[in-house]
Amino acid sequence: MTNCERTNYLLILVIATLISVNLFATGDVAADPVAITSWQVTPDLEVRELQPGIWIHTSWYEFSNGSRYPSNGLIVRDENTALLIDTAWGVESTIELLDWIEHELGVPVSAVIATHTHDDRMGGAPVLTERGIPLYANPLSIPLAVSQGLPEPLSLGDLEPGATVEFGPVEVFYPGPAHTVDNIMVWLPEAGLLVGGCAVKSADAHSMGNVADADLAEWPYSMRRAAEQYPDALQVLPGHGDIGGEELLMHTVQLLEQLE
């Protein structure tokens, strides 16, 4: 190769390198695909990955006036099965959720913990009975579920205010009466995540919402009990609205104080 040929070769190499760098920088070359972290299963059901092995399921209910309202629950991978925290809101969305877990995650749901007996937590219970999936709840939930015509849940054991019960990869905590007399919370120690259920309000909530079955006098004490039990909570999942931090517990107390 002559000096002239060598110079032309190097020039072509430099130009080719500059072109490839420019294409990559401007996005004309396809980048590595980004892992999917959210699934719109149906118009009324969404699943989002929170962290490896943990997913938030959000289902929407349409009221008679046409308004739609979201409700949060959790899916926890437990080796070769999944633990479900709260059913989806209603039978149809619960069917879709169970099918999604089986097909997308490739594991069966071994058990469901309901954080209280309202439809946004236990409305899909008939589907669980049909599929032979056990449903667990606060023993206080049992007569309430039966009175509402729902399948009778299994008891999580004796739960006095402030008591905890180990359940597989999670810890169940009864803070005391709040949104309902039977509302419980679920703690994921490895994730630093507290599932507060409807006892906890989201940061953008400006009112207490449905308080028909609430114990407004005890609710603040129950929130403070939860804050004392889990001072290291990194995230708190409310029953409705966006996930936040431990500040949601005191935010709920502040909203309650506005009612006085």
Q: Are the CB atoms for 75 and 57 separated by under 8 Å?
A: yes
Continuous segment of H or E residues that includes residue 32: none
Q: Choose, from 8, 28, 204, 210, the residue flagged as catalytic.
A: 210
Cα–Cα distance, 46 to 178 (Å, whole number) = 27
Q: Is 118 tagged catalytic? A: yes
Q: Choose, from 118, 138, 182, 183, the residue flagged as catalytic.
A: 118
Q: Is 120 tagged catalytic? A: yes
Counting DSSP H helices and E strands in the chain, the numbers are: 7, 13
Q: Are the CB atoms for 76 and 53 separated by under 8 Å?
A: yes
How many other CB atoms are found less than 10 A from the CB of residue 5?
9
* Residue 250 CA to its chain's centroid (Å): 20
Q: Choose, from 116, 182, 183, 251, the residue flagged as catalytic.
A: 116
Cα–Cα distance, 26 to 45 (Å, whole number) = 36
Q: Choose, from 120, 182, 183, 251, the residue flagged as catalytic.
A: 120
Q: Is 65 tagged catalytic? A: no
Cα–Cα distance, 158 to 55 (Å, whole number) = 28
Residues that are catalytic: 116, 118, 120, 179, 210
